[in-house]
Amino acid sequence: MRERTIIIGLDVHKDTIAVARASRHGGPPESLGTIVNSPQAIARLMRKLGAAEEIAVCYEAGPCGYAIYHQLTTMKIACQVVAPSMIPRAPGERVKTDRRDAEKLARLYRSGDLHPVWVPDAAHEALRDLVRMREQSRQDLQRARGRLSKWLLRLDLRPPTATRAWSTGYYRWLATLQREHPPQQLVLAELIEQEALAVRRHRRLDAEIVQQMQSSPLAPLWRAWQVLKGVGTVTASTLIAELGDCSRFEHPRQLMAYGGVTPGEYSSGARTRRGAITKHGNTAIRRVMIEAAWHYALPPKVGAPLRRRQAGQPETITAIAWTAQKRLNPRFHRLVRRGKSRPQAAVAIARELMGPIWEIAQTVRLTQLAN
Protein backbone atom coordinates (compact mmCIF):
# COMPACT_ATOMS: atom_id res chain seq x y z
CA MET A 1 0.00 0.00 0.00
CA ARG A 2 1.14 3.51 -0.78
CA GLU A 3 1.94 5.93 2.05
CA ARG A 4 -1.22 7.57 3.29
CA THR A 5 -0.73 11.26 2.56
CA ILE A 6 -4.16 12.66 3.53
CA ILE A 7 -4.55 12.90 7.31
CA ILE A 8 -8.12 13.54 8.51
CA GLY A 9 -9.26 14.51 11.98
CA LEU A 10 -12.94 14.12 12.86
CA ASP A 11 -14.60 15.79 15.85
CA VAL A 12 -17.67 13.57 16.11
CA HIS A 13 -20.95 14.57 17.72
CA LYS A 14 -24.43 13.12 17.69
CA ASP A 15 -25.67 15.07 14.66
CA THR A 16 -22.56 16.68 13.15
CA ILE A 17 -18.91 15.98 12.41
CA ALA A 18 -16.26 18.71 12.15
CA VAL A 19 -13.60 17.74 9.58
CA ALA A 20 -9.98 18.90 9.25
CA ARG A 21 -7.26 17.81 6.85
CA ALA A 22 -3.48 17.77 7.23
CA SER A 23 -0.88 16.83 4.65
CA ARG A 24 1.74 14.22 5.42
CA HIS A 25 4.33 16.61 3.95
CA GLY A 26 3.77 19.29 6.61
CA GLY A 27 1.97 22.58 6.96
CA PRO A 28 -0.85 23.62 9.27
CA PRO A 29 -4.12 21.64 9.17
CA GLU A 30 -7.07 23.16 7.34
CA SER A 31 -10.72 22.95 8.29
CA LEU A 32 -13.04 21.32 5.77
CA GLY A 33 -16.18 22.45 7.55
CA THR A 34 -18.93 20.38 9.12
CA ILE A 35 -20.93 17.47 7.73
CA VAL A 36 -23.97 15.58 8.94
CA ASN A 37 -23.19 12.52 11.04
CA SER A 38 -24.61 9.90 8.69
CA PRO A 39 -23.05 7.01 6.73
CA GLN A 40 -24.02 8.62 3.43
CA ALA A 41 -22.36 11.96 4.28
CA ILE A 42 -19.20 10.22 5.52
CA ALA A 43 -18.92 8.07 2.39
CA ARG A 44 -19.46 11.12 0.17
CA LEU A 45 -16.75 13.07 2.00
CA MET A 46 -14.22 10.26 1.70
CA ARG A 47 -14.82 9.92 -2.04
CA LYS A 48 -14.15 13.63 -2.48
CA LEU A 49 -10.91 13.51 -0.48
CA GLY A 50 -9.18 10.99 -2.74
CA ALA A 51 -8.35 7.33 -3.10
CA ALA A 52 -8.97 5.15 -0.06
CA GLU A 53 -5.31 4.03 -0.01
CA GLU A 54 -4.20 7.64 0.57
CA ILE A 55 -6.49 8.51 3.51
CA ALA A 56 -5.91 8.01 7.24
CA VAL A 57 -8.64 9.08 9.68
CA CYS A 58 -8.82 9.46 13.44
CA TYR A 59 -11.49 10.48 15.92
CA GLU A 60 -11.98 10.36 19.67
CA ALA A 61 -13.66 7.48 21.47
CA GLY A 62 -17.02 8.61 22.79
CA PRO A 63 -20.75 7.94 23.02
CA CYS A 64 -21.12 7.57 19.25
CA GLY A 65 -19.26 4.24 19.43
CA TYR A 66 -17.37 2.54 16.64
CA ALA A 67 -19.84 2.81 13.74
CA ILE A 68 -17.61 5.26 11.84
CA TYR A 69 -14.56 3.04 12.39
CA HIS A 70 -16.34 -0.01 11.00
CA GLN A 71 -17.65 1.94 8.01
CA LEU A 72 -14.22 3.37 7.12
CA THR A 73 -12.36 0.09 7.52
CA THR A 74 -14.94 -1.56 5.26
CA MET A 75 -14.07 1.13 2.69
CA LYS A 76 -10.35 0.17 3.07
CA ILE A 77 -9.58 3.50 4.75
CA ALA A 78 -7.14 3.45 7.69
CA CYS A 79 -8.89 4.62 10.84
CA GLN A 80 -7.94 4.91 14.49
CA VAL A 81 -10.14 5.63 17.49
CA VAL A 82 -8.03 7.50 20.03
CA ALA A 83 -8.24 7.81 23.80
CA PRO A 84 -9.55 11.29 24.79
CA SER A 85 -7.74 11.21 28.15
CA MET A 86 -4.37 10.80 26.41
CA ILE A 87 -4.66 13.74 23.99
CA PRO A 88 -1.96 16.35 24.82
CA ARG A 89 -3.33 19.69 25.97
CA ALA A 90 -1.29 22.88 26.32
CA PRO A 91 -1.64 24.70 29.69
CA GLY A 92 -2.52 27.96 27.94
CA GLU A 93 -5.16 26.44 25.68
CA ARG A 94 -8.33 28.31 26.60
CA VAL A 95 -10.35 28.30 23.35
CA LYS A 96 -12.19 25.12 22.39
CA THR A 97 -14.36 24.74 19.30
CA ASP A 98 -15.27 21.82 17.07
CA ARG A 99 -13.12 23.23 14.26
CA ARG A 100 -10.08 23.60 16.53
CA ASP A 101 -10.59 20.11 17.93
CA ALA A 102 -10.68 18.57 14.45
CA GLU A 103 -7.55 20.46 13.39
CA LYS A 104 -5.78 19.42 16.58
CA LEU A 105 -6.64 15.76 16.01
CA ALA A 106 -5.31 15.91 12.44
CA ARG A 107 -2.07 17.59 13.56
CA LEU A 108 -1.42 15.18 16.45
CA TYR A 109 -2.33 12.14 14.35
CA ARG A 110 0.21 13.22 11.77
CA SER A 111 2.92 13.59 14.43
CA GLY A 112 2.09 10.25 16.06
CA ASP A 113 1.17 11.73 19.43
CA LEU A 114 -2.22 10.02 19.79
CA HIS A 115 -2.91 6.74 21.57
CA PRO A 116 -5.36 4.41 19.79
CA VAL A 117 -7.84 2.28 21.71
CA TRP A 118 -8.63 -1.33 20.93
CA VAL A 119 -11.77 -1.61 18.81
CA PRO A 120 -13.66 -4.92 19.17
CA ASP A 121 -15.40 -6.50 16.22
CA ALA A 122 -19.19 -6.47 16.06
CA ALA A 123 -19.61 -9.87 17.75
CA HIS A 124 -17.27 -9.01 20.62
CA GLU A 125 -18.90 -5.61 21.07
CA ALA A 126 -22.27 -7.36 21.43
CA LEU A 127 -20.77 -9.64 24.10
CA ARG A 128 -19.33 -6.60 25.89
CA ASP A 129 -22.76 -4.94 25.85
CA LEU A 130 -24.26 -8.03 27.50
CA VAL A 131 -21.63 -8.10 30.27
CA ARG A 132 -22.02 -4.38 30.92
CA MET A 133 -25.79 -4.78 31.06
CA ARG A 134 -25.26 -7.42 33.74
CA GLU A 135 -23.26 -4.91 35.78
CA GLN A 136 -26.07 -2.37 35.39
CA SER A 137 -28.57 -4.99 36.58
CA ARG A 138 -26.41 -5.60 39.67
CA GLN A 139 -26.51 -1.89 40.46
CA ASP A 140 -30.29 -1.80 39.90
CA LEU A 141 -30.70 -4.75 42.29
CA GLN A 142 -28.65 -2.96 44.95
CA ARG A 143 -30.79 0.15 44.56
CA ALA A 144 -34.04 -1.83 44.77
CA ARG A 145 -32.89 -3.61 47.93
CA GLY A 146 -31.64 -0.34 49.39
CA ARG A 147 -35.01 1.35 48.85
CA LEU A 148 -36.88 -1.55 50.46
CA SER A 149 -34.56 -1.96 53.45
CA LYS A 150 -34.49 1.78 54.20
CA TRP A 151 -38.28 1.98 54.01
CA LEU A 152 -38.58 -0.91 56.45
CA LEU A 153 -36.06 0.74 58.78
CA ARG A 154 -37.98 4.01 58.76
CA LEU A 155 -41.10 2.16 59.92
CA ASP A 156 -39.08 0.15 62.47
CA LEU A 157 -39.93 -3.15 60.78
CA ARG A 158 -37.14 -5.57 61.65
CA PRO A 159 -36.73 -9.22 60.65
CA PRO A 160 -36.50 -11.94 63.32
CA THR A 161 -33.20 -12.26 65.12
CA ALA A 162 -30.49 -14.19 63.23
CA THR A 163 -32.36 -13.88 59.91
CA ARG A 164 -29.87 -13.03 57.22
CA ALA A 165 -30.90 -10.29 54.79
CA TRP A 166 -32.28 -11.54 51.45
CA SER A 167 -32.22 -15.17 52.55
CA THR A 168 -35.18 -17.55 52.20
CA GLY A 169 -36.27 -16.76 55.75
CA TYR A 170 -36.07 -13.04 55.05
CA TYR A 171 -38.37 -13.37 52.03
CA ARG A 172 -40.84 -15.42 54.10
CA TRP A 173 -40.84 -12.64 56.70
CA LEU A 174 -41.49 -10.01 54.02
CA ALA A 175 -44.50 -11.99 52.79
CA THR A 176 -46.09 -11.85 56.28
CA LEU A 177 -45.90 -8.07 56.64
CA GLN A 178 -49.20 -6.23 56.78
CA ARG A 179 -49.71 -2.48 57.15
CA GLU A 180 -52.73 -0.85 58.75
CA HIS A 181 -53.08 1.85 56.10
CA PRO A 182 -53.78 0.75 52.49
CA PRO A 183 -51.36 3.28 50.89
CA GLN A 184 -48.44 1.86 52.91
CA GLN A 185 -49.47 -1.70 52.05
CA LEU A 186 -49.41 -0.73 48.37
CA VAL A 187 -45.95 0.84 48.76
CA LEU A 188 -44.69 -2.33 50.45
CA ALA A 189 -46.05 -4.53 47.67
CA GLU A 190 -44.47 -2.32 45.00
CA LEU A 191 -41.06 -2.29 46.71
CA ILE A 192 -41.12 -6.08 47.08
CA GLU A 193 -42.11 -6.49 43.42
CA GLN A 194 -39.34 -4.14 42.26
CA GLU A 195 -36.77 -6.19 44.16
CA ALA A 196 -38.15 -9.46 42.76
CA LEU A 197 -38.05 -8.11 39.19
CA ALA A 198 -34.44 -6.98 39.67
CA VAL A 199 -33.47 -10.43 41.00
CA ARG A 200 -35.08 -12.22 38.06
CA ARG A 201 -33.43 -9.90 35.57
CA HIS A 202 -30.03 -10.33 37.22
CA ARG A 203 -30.28 -14.14 37.20
CA ARG A 204 -31.47 -14.15 33.59
CA LEU A 205 -28.46 -12.11 32.48
CA ASP A 206 -26.09 -14.33 34.50
CA ALA A 207 -27.39 -17.43 32.74
CA GLU A 208 -27.19 -15.77 29.32
CA ILE A 209 -23.60 -14.65 29.89
CA VAL A 210 -22.51 -18.18 30.78
CA GLN A 211 -24.23 -19.54 27.67
CA GLN A 212 -22.66 -16.93 25.39
CA MET A 213 -19.20 -17.35 26.91
CA GLN A 214 -19.28 -21.11 26.49
CA SER A 215 -19.92 -20.70 22.75
CA SER A 216 -17.47 -17.82 22.30
CA PRO A 217 -14.16 -18.23 20.42
CA LEU A 218 -12.51 -17.09 23.65
CA ALA A 219 -14.16 -19.83 25.74
CA PRO A 220 -10.81 -21.61 26.43
CA LEU A 221 -9.35 -18.42 27.87
CA TRP A 222 -12.55 -17.76 29.85
CA ARG A 223 -12.29 -21.21 31.48
CA ALA A 224 -8.54 -20.92 32.02
CA TRP A 225 -8.80 -17.63 33.92
CA GLN A 226 -11.23 -19.25 36.37
CA VAL A 227 -8.48 -21.48 37.77
CA LEU A 228 -7.30 -18.42 39.70
CA LYS A 229 -8.57 -17.92 43.21
CA GLY A 230 -11.18 -15.14 43.28
CA VAL A 231 -11.81 -15.27 39.53
CA GLY A 232 -15.23 -16.81 38.89
CA THR A 233 -17.56 -16.60 35.93
CA VAL A 234 -18.43 -12.92 36.43
CA THR A 235 -14.82 -11.75 36.78
CA ALA A 236 -13.63 -13.90 33.87
CA SER A 237 -16.53 -12.70 31.70
CA THR A 238 -15.71 -9.07 32.48
CA LEU A 239 -12.05 -9.63 31.58
CA ILE A 240 -13.01 -11.32 28.31
CA ALA A 241 -15.46 -8.56 27.41
CA GLU A 242 -13.09 -5.69 28.19
CA LEU A 243 -9.72 -7.20 27.15
CA GLY A 244 -10.38 -9.70 24.39
CA ASP A 245 -7.55 -12.18 23.90
CA CYS A 246 -4.80 -9.97 25.47
CA SER A 247 -2.42 -10.64 22.56
CA ARG A 248 -1.84 -6.90 22.11
CA PHE A 249 -0.19 -6.67 25.55
CA GLU A 250 3.48 -7.56 25.17
CA HIS A 251 4.21 -7.33 28.90
CA PRO A 252 2.08 -7.64 32.06
CA ARG A 253 2.94 -4.04 32.98
CA GLN A 254 0.97 -2.90 29.93
CA LEU A 255 -2.03 -4.85 31.21
CA MET A 256 -1.63 -3.31 34.66
CA ALA A 257 -1.56 0.17 33.13
CA TYR A 258 -4.65 -0.66 31.06
CA GLY A 259 -6.49 -1.42 34.29
CA GLY A 260 -5.30 1.81 35.88
CA VAL A 261 -3.76 0.09 38.92
CA THR A 262 -0.17 1.29 38.45
CA PRO A 263 1.04 3.92 40.94
CA GLY A 264 1.31 7.52 39.82
CA GLU A 265 4.76 9.08 39.87
CA TYR A 266 6.09 12.62 40.08
CA SER A 267 9.89 12.49 40.07
CA SER A 268 12.45 15.16 39.34
CA GLY A 269 16.21 15.03 39.72
CA ALA A 270 17.21 12.95 42.69
CA ARG A 271 13.72 13.00 44.17
CA THR A 272 11.34 10.12 43.44
CA ARG A 273 7.70 10.37 44.50
CA ARG A 274 5.11 7.66 43.88
CA GLY A 275 1.53 8.13 44.90
CA ALA A 276 -1.89 6.54 44.54
CA ILE A 277 -2.87 4.50 41.50
CA THR A 278 -3.50 6.46 38.33
CA LYS A 279 -7.05 5.16 37.69
CA HIS A 280 -6.34 5.98 34.02
CA GLY A 281 -7.72 2.83 32.52
CA ASN A 282 -10.67 0.50 32.28
CA THR A 283 -12.90 0.95 35.33
CA ALA A 284 -14.63 -2.44 35.00
CA ILE A 285 -11.33 -4.32 34.96
CA ARG A 286 -10.02 -2.39 37.95
CA ARG A 287 -13.19 -3.10 39.94
CA VAL A 288 -13.30 -6.87 39.37
CA MET A 289 -9.56 -7.28 39.93
CA ILE A 290 -9.71 -5.48 43.29
CA GLU A 291 -12.67 -7.65 44.28
CA ALA A 292 -10.69 -10.77 43.32
CA ALA A 293 -7.63 -9.53 45.23
CA TRP A 294 -9.47 -9.70 48.57
CA HIS A 295 -9.52 -13.51 48.31
CA TYR A 296 -5.74 -13.53 48.70
CA ALA A 297 -6.02 -12.27 52.26
CA LEU A 298 -7.03 -15.85 53.09
CA PRO A 299 -4.46 -18.68 53.37
CA PRO A 300 -3.61 -20.58 50.18
CA LYS A 301 -6.21 -23.29 49.62
CA VAL A 302 -8.00 -25.09 46.80
CA GLY A 303 -11.57 -25.46 48.01
CA ALA A 304 -14.38 -27.37 46.34
CA PRO A 305 -15.62 -24.51 44.08
CA LEU A 306 -12.08 -23.72 42.88
CA ARG A 307 -11.36 -27.43 42.37
CA ARG A 308 -14.43 -27.70 40.14
CA ARG A 309 -13.28 -24.73 38.06
CA GLN A 310 -9.80 -26.22 37.71
CA ALA A 311 -11.08 -29.63 36.58
CA GLY A 312 -9.87 -30.48 33.08
CA GLN A 313 -7.39 -27.60 32.87
CA PRO A 314 -3.73 -28.27 31.93
CA GLU A 315 -1.29 -28.65 34.78
CA THR A 316 0.75 -25.69 33.54
CA ILE A 317 -2.22 -23.37 34.07
CA THR A 318 -3.20 -24.72 37.49
CA ALA A 319 0.46 -24.39 38.53
CA ILE A 320 0.33 -20.67 37.68
CA ALA A 321 -2.77 -20.30 39.88
CA TRP A 322 -1.18 -22.12 42.84
CA THR A 323 2.02 -20.09 42.55
CA ALA A 324 -0.09 -16.93 42.61
CA GLN A 325 -1.77 -18.04 45.83
CA LYS A 326 1.51 -18.85 47.57
CA ARG A 327 3.06 -15.55 46.51
CA LEU A 328 0.18 -13.07 46.90
CA ASN A 329 -1.12 -14.17 50.31
CA PRO A 330 2.19 -13.44 52.14
CA ARG A 331 2.54 -10.29 50.06
CA PHE A 332 -0.87 -9.03 51.25
CA HIS A 333 0.01 -9.50 54.93
CA ARG A 334 3.51 -8.03 54.54
CA LEU A 335 1.96 -4.86 53.16
CA VAL A 336 -0.44 -4.68 56.11
CA ARG A 337 2.40 -5.17 58.61
CA ARG A 338 4.31 -2.35 56.91
CA GLY A 339 1.47 0.03 57.74
CA LYS A 340 -0.65 -0.12 54.62
CA SER A 341 -4.40 -0.29 55.12
CA ARG A 342 -6.13 -3.45 53.97
CA PRO A 343 -7.83 -1.67 51.02
CA GLN A 344 -4.43 -0.35 49.91
CA ALA A 345 -3.00 -3.85 50.17
CA ALA A 346 -5.89 -5.22 48.10
CA VAL A 347 -5.18 -2.70 45.34
CA ALA A 348 -1.51 -3.68 45.32
CA ILE A 349 -2.47 -7.37 45.10
CA ALA A 350 -4.89 -6.57 42.25
CA ARG A 351 -2.00 -5.06 40.32
CA GLU A 352 0.21 -8.09 40.89
CA LEU A 353 -2.66 -10.50 40.12
CA MET A 354 -2.69 -9.13 36.58
CA GLY A 355 0.67 -10.87 36.09
CA PRO A 356 -0.88 -14.38 36.35
CA ILE A 357 -3.83 -13.15 34.25
CA TRP A 358 -1.40 -12.17 31.48
CA GLU A 359 0.66 -15.34 31.87
CA ILE A 360 -2.39 -17.59 31.55
CA ALA A 361 -3.52 -15.68 28.46
CA GLN A 362 -0.13 -16.17 26.85
CA THR A 363 -0.13 -19.87 27.75
CA VAL A 364 -3.57 -20.42 26.22
CA ARG A 365 -2.58 -18.52 23.06
CA LEU A 366 0.63 -20.50 22.60
CA THR A 367 -1.26 -23.75 23.15
CA GLN A 368 -3.78 -22.81 20.48
CA LEU A 369 -1.01 -21.86 18.04
CA ALA A 370 0.74 -25.18 18.68
CA ASN A 371 -2.46 -27.05 17.90
Q: Where in the sequence is the domain holding 102, given as residue range(s)?
A: 6-111
Q: In what order do the strands lie in the sheet with 55-60?
A: 30-36, 16-23, 6-12, 55-60, 78-82
On the question of pLDDT at 1 being above 60, the answer is: no
> How many domains in the chain?
3
pLDDT of residue 17: 97
**SS3 at position 236:** helix
Q: Identify whether residues 277 and 148 lie together within a single domain.
A: no
Question: Which residues neighbour 332 within 8 Å (Cβ) at sequence distance 6 or greater?
Answer: 293, 296, 297, 345, 346, 348, 349
Q: Identify whether residues 155 and 45 lie together within a single domain.
A: no
- What is the pLDDT confidence band of residue 94, given thresholds at 50, 70 and 90? confident
Taking residues 79-86, what's their average pLDDT? Answer: 94
Residues 127-145 pLDDT 10s: 999 999 999 999 999 999 9
pLDDT of residue 149: 97
Q: Identify whether residues 183 and 48 lie together within a single domain.
A: no
- What is the pLDDT confidence band of residue 2, given thresholds at 50, 70 and 90? very low
* Residues across the chain: 371
pLDDT of residue 280: 84
- What is the pLDDT confidence band of residue 189, given thresholds at 50, 70 and 90? very high
Percent of the chain with pLDDT over 90: 86
The mean predicted confidence, pLDDT, of the chain is 94
Q: Identify whether residues 161 and 47 lie together within a single domain.
A: no
Taking residues 109-131, what's their average pLDDT? Answer: 94
Residues 190-213 pLDDT 10s: 999 999 999 999 999 999 999 999
* Cα 237 → chain centroid: 11
Apex 306 CA angle, 302 and 307, nearest 5: 75
Residues 57-71 pLDDT 10s: 999 999 999 999 999
Q: Identify whether residues 245 and 351 lie together within a single domain.
A: yes
Residues 152-178 pLDDT 10s: 999 999 999 999 999 999 999 999 999
pLDDT of residue 264: 83
Of 186, 214, 242, the domain-final residue: 214
Q: Identify whether residues 244 and 346 lie together within a single domain.
A: yes
CATH code, domain carrying 77? 3.30.420.140
pLDDT of residue 296: 97
Taking residues 98-127, what's their average pLDDT? Answer: 94
* Cα 15 → chain centroid: 27
Question: Which residues neighbour 124 within 8 Å (Cβ) at sequence distance 6 or greater?
Answer: 241, 244
Q: Identify whether residues 267 and 349 lie together within a single domain.
A: yes
Give 307's DSSP letter. Answer: H
For residue 117, tell me if it sits in a domain: no
- What is the pLDDT confidence band of residue 270, given thresholds at 50, 70 and 90? confident
Residues 274-327 pLDDT 10s: 878 888 889 999 999 999 999 999 999 999 999 999 999 999 999 999 999 999
Of 92, 111, 130, the domain-final residue: 111
CA atoms of 178 and 163, how far apart (whole Å): 19
Q: How many CA atoms lie within 13 A of 190 on its CB side?
A: 8
pLDDT of residue 274: 80
pLDDT of residue 168: 95
Among 227-236, 253-262, 346-355, which is the least confidently predicted range? 253-262
CA atoms of 206 and 134, how far apart (whole Å): 7
Q: Identify whether residues 101 and 142 lie together within a single domain.
A: no
pLDDT of residue 341: 96
Name the more confident of 222 and 271: 222
Of 56, 80, 111, the domain-final residue: 111
Residues 321-368 pLDDT 10s: 999 999 999 999 999 999 999 999 999 999 999 999 999 999 999 998
